[in-house]
Amino acid sequence: MVVDGKIHAIAGRMDSYDFNTGLHAVYDQKTDGWTFRAPLPTPRSGPSIVYMCGKIVVFDGEATGKVFGTNEAYDPKTDSWEALAPMRVPRHGLHGATVAVIGNMVHVPGGGPVPGGSVQGAYHDAFTFF
């Protein structure tokens, strides 16, 4: 996710399916360096991320044997996270490009309701957070 010309790398998998992270690193091309920011409170892989109203919002994701319906927002100005309303159907594999901001709503279609990606669904949630 790019915010104010800086790349935010948030969450993911490290080394294996069994190790998910809440790591939050920010790359600044002006200094050609990385800094660490407040980690995502719910470590996971396969989330989707969108930037709206000055906040980075992370949707869903998965970990070993579990799918999340957790949504959390990061405020770059305060380096802090807040919990948001969860998804109706927890899922993962949404991929960043599928989340869309239309007006003041975030639309979150698709995703898999079970770990591993063998099942995908025709789900759709729409949120107004801020």
pTM metric for this prediction: 0.89
Give the model confidence (pLDDT) of 37-75 as tens digits: 999 999 998 888 999 999 999 998 888 888 989 999 999
- The 3-class secondary structure across the chain, one letter per residue, is CEECCEEEEEEEECCCCCCEEEEEEEEECCCCEEEECCCCCCCCECCEEEEECCEEEEEEEEECCEEEEEEEEEECCCCEEEEECCCCCCCECCCHHHCEEECCEEEEECCECCCCCCCCCCCEEEECCC
For the chain, domains (ranges, CATH) are 2-127 (2.120.10.80)
